[in-house]
Chains A and B, each alone.
Chain A
């Protein structure tokens, strides 16, 4: 582990002035683009991180093997890889396996081996009827919790997570990410506050094709974790963001809730506001808070959640971490700082700061004329436009 006082703070006063940086960009028409822009953008927020974590999620990067689950796994030792491969061969049909190409740079020290496996789960091994996604999820947790030194970075189809210890621009150089193509990219520069910086602890956190990058602190981690454990999610990455990825998987995939509702569960209005709402909305929020209260995310956070077809930028109810959204043509941006968006897209059709707790949702355009960006709905729930004092 790096000595923080030498890296970041020459004054040795135990104060490190930095915050995480997050950035996301999506082509709402599904057009693939390289990582060049997002690397430039997140590198512009270099000072928000401290070099103890950087990472990227790319959607649409493996079109030739888009039907296979792509398991991207880091191994601390050769033995951990060999053990994991024995496990994988038993429970998956492996259609292709390779070490992820890297471009060693001075900045990245002692990297683990990172491999990718394009696989199909063996369903004939099962004695119960569960979905393929559930099978893969179960295997991922087994690898993370029982196989020494092996951690799954991502496990979705036609997507991948690339992360490690370093500044995001260094991680991008190490994995050669400017050569990848995707239609959604999210990125993270880390400043770990409560836990150590290690390769598995870098963002994005991922399960199947859900990924989360996060700036802030999930103070409700303990409560969230205990709730998720009842649904077989095992936290193994030593950091709070992990619960967000699993909560999204539970709510959106397994319980089938739209992401709008998931975000309302994460940051519902305070009871005082709910009391002032009309009956319909009050019933809705009371139901969410009663059913999913343990998945309320407390504490300061700004997150970008993505999966195939959707990118969601969201903050806590009182926006204790920054988030700016921007639109230019078919591109939708979300960032910790407006300057990073402007650097890669100086002209924007619209740029705005979302209201806390109100998600910005970018969707792939299915039909012409469809509204591809939802949110930025500035009025409060239960509040009518005409009530607003514009004078």
Chain B
């Protein structure tokens, strides 16, 4: 990528308010065309440190690690980044608070080890979404690729949640230790159904996967159990499907999506599936 440190910036209102902490209410428009990812991310961090909270980034072509370097900024949970284009891999990696909305598809490793915040993708995402995720929410309107939700974990009230409108591919929730993933198997855009996925939840030892539709035994790992959502879990599913519909403006689908008898719950049969493997 041709590197350029000049990020074109336009503020929707006056741009010189030096010396005063900005309210962050204005949308800052950035043009990322030809801008190297490090320069783009530095620019966003420096503006956020000055008090800006709302960013619209246009012409994004593969810039990586968006949202990663906003750690430690006070009020970072109010930061909103709207991405127009195709963000690069590792978007929201280690992210701790901000919200990213993508108008397009995301590439691989979205939300890698994310700690807090929200990602919404108006399209599909690639492989390894939510890898090692430990908190926050990810909504994907369409499909996701392979190895999504691997090693997700939870601790007390920090329970990461992923909602997928379409389908997933193989090794979904592999080695999952906590958190929840909801798969709606519904095709909102003009994207045809992909094939069934296999090796779901292989090595799973915590957390829950809720799939709208049937899951066959040959699709899941040996460590996975099949059940129906409990009453308490159904409340959670309702809440997140409601959020999903709100985020993508799909409220008219909510009643159809929320048919409890259609949901399958996949859970870890044991919290230590390999506990006795090497024991003598």
The judgment on whether A and B are partners is yes
Interface residues, chain A, with chain B CB atoms under 8 Å away: 43-47, 272-273, 276, 318-320, 322, 324, 337-340, 342-343, 351-353, 355-356, 378-380, 383, 387-391
- State which of B13-21, B82-90, B234-242 sits at the interface with chain A: B82-90
B206 at the A/B interface (Cβ < 8 Å)?
no
Q: With A44-B1, A339-B62, A339-B85 as known contacts, state yes or no: A390 contacts B107, CB within 8 Å.
A: no
Cα A256 to Cα B275 in complex, Å, equals 52
A391 and B212: CB pair below 8 A? yes
B194 and A378: CB pair below 8 A? yes
B274 at the A/B interface (Cβ < 8 Å)?
no
B214 neighbours in A (Cβ, 8 Å): 389
Instruction: Give the Cβ gap from A388 to chain B, nearest Cβ, in Å.
Output: 5
Cα A44 to Cα B107 in complex, Å, equals 14
Nearest chain A residue, comparing its CB with the CB of B256? A391
B143 neighbours in A (Cβ, 8 Å): 353
Interface residues of B in 1-57 (CB under 8 A from A): 1-2, 37
Write the B81-102 contact mask toward A (1 if CB under 8 angstroms, else 0).
0000111110000000000000
Cα A46 to Cα B2 in complex, Å, equals 9
A319 and B61: CB pair below 8 A? no
Cα A356 to Cα B169 in complex, Å, equals 9
B127 and A319: CB pair below 8 A? yes
Q: With A378-B192, A389-B213 as known contacts, state yes or no: A343 contacts B218, CB within 8 Å.
A: no
Nearest chain A residue, comparing its CB with the CB of B3? A46
A318 and B108: CB pair below 8 A? no
Q: With A319-B169, A356-B146, A378-B194 as known contacts, state yes or no: A338 contacts B105, CB within 8 Å.
A: yes
Nearest chain B residue, comparing its CB with the CB of A346? B85
Known: A339-B88, A378-B194, A389-B213. 20 other contacts (CB 8 A): A44-B62, A47-B37, A47-B64, A322-B127, A337-B107, A339-B85, A339-B87, A342-B85, A342-B86, A342-B104, A352-B191, A353-B143, A356-B169, A379-B195, A380-B195, A383-B196, A388-B193, A390-B213, A391-B185, A391-B213
Write the B119-131 contact mask toward A (1 if CB under 8 angstroms, else 0).
0000010110000
B170 at the A/B interface (Cβ < 8 Å)?
yes
Nearest chain B residue, comparing its CB with the CB of A315? B146
A318 and B171: CB pair below 8 A? yes
B187 at the A/B interface (Cβ < 8 Å)?
yes
Interface residues, chain B, with chain A CB atoms under 8 Å away: 1-2, 37, 60-62, 64, 85-89, 104-105, 107-108, 124, 126-127, 143, 145-146, 169-171, 185-187, 191-196, 198, 212-214, 218, 262
Cα A383 to Cα B216 in complex, Å, equals 13
Q: With A353-B124, A356-B170 as known contacts, state yes or no: A378 contacts B1, CB within 8 Å.
A: no
Cα A387 to Cα B143 in complex, Å, equals 18
Helix, strand, loop or mixed for chain B's interface? loop
Can you list 29 A-B pairs with a CB-CB distance of less than 8 A? Answer: A43-B1, A44-B1, A45-B62, A47-B37, A47-B64, A273-B198, A322-B108, A324-B126, A337-B62, A337-B86, A338-B86, A338-B107, A339-B86, A339-B87, A339-B88, A339-B107, A351-B105, A352-B191, A353-B126, A353-B143, A353-B145, A355-B194, A355-B195, A356-B170, A378-B192, A378-B193, A378-B194, A378-B195, A391-B186
Helix, strand, loop or mixed for chain A's interface? loop
Q: With A322-B126, A338-B107 as known contacts, state yes or no: A355 contacts B196, CB within 8 Å.
A: no
B195 neighbours in A (Cβ, 8 Å): 355, 378-380, 383, 388
Cα A30 to Cα B25 in complex, Å, equals 53
A343 neighbours in B (Cβ, 8 Å): 61-62
A318 neighbours in B (Cβ, 8 Å): 146, 170-171
A46 neighbours in B (Cβ, 8 Å): 1
Nearest chain B residue, comparing its CB with the CB of A317? B170
A337 and B88: CB pair below 8 A? yes
B1 and A390: CB pair below 8 A? no
Nearest chain B residue, comparing its CB with the CB of A351? B105
B191 neighbours in A (Cβ, 8 Å): 352
